[in-house]
Amino acid sequence: SVQVETAQQLDEVVLHELVGTGNVEWRLDADAFRAGAFPPVDIIASGARHAELIVGDADADRRGALRARLDAHGSLGGLALLLQELDDLGSLERVLTESSFRSGGGDEQSPTWPT
């Protein structure tokens, strides 16, 4: 389901009925869209509920560490950094196991979007 700010009461009622039935919530980011990011997702506000039940505790911990490192760069900077890592390494699994996110160095720079 998708929610947009329509100011329609029925949309609000339907949304509240559906909340809690899904597991993943994606939030789109207008700043990321204006910057030309694709997908224009707010990676800090988006996510899965109870990820440990889906991927296991160890993988959920790695994903949590990745999210914390991305959060340090803000929504747009974190998205740019994640997309760069995915491009460099080719898969989320490799990002979780091989990237600078695992080192804990924290000195990576957020890439900038082309203007």
Please answer whether residues 25 and 47 qualify as being in contact, where contact means their C-beta atoms are separated by less than 8 angstroms.
yes
pLDDT exceeds cutoff 50 at 14: yes
The mean pLDDT value for 45-54 works out to 82
pTM, rounded to two decimals: 0.66
Distance, CA of 106 to CA of 14 (rounded, Å): 42
Residue 74, token pair as written in the block: 């803000």
Strand pairing partners for 73?
none
Residue 106 sits at φ, ψ, to 5 deg, of 70, 10
Give the model confidence (pLDDT) of 26-45 as tens digits: 889 999 999 998 889 998 88
- Residue 50: pLDDT band (50, 70, 90) is confident
Q: The tokens 């974190």 sit on which residue?
A: 78
Distance, CA of 53 to CA of 50 (rounded, Å): 6
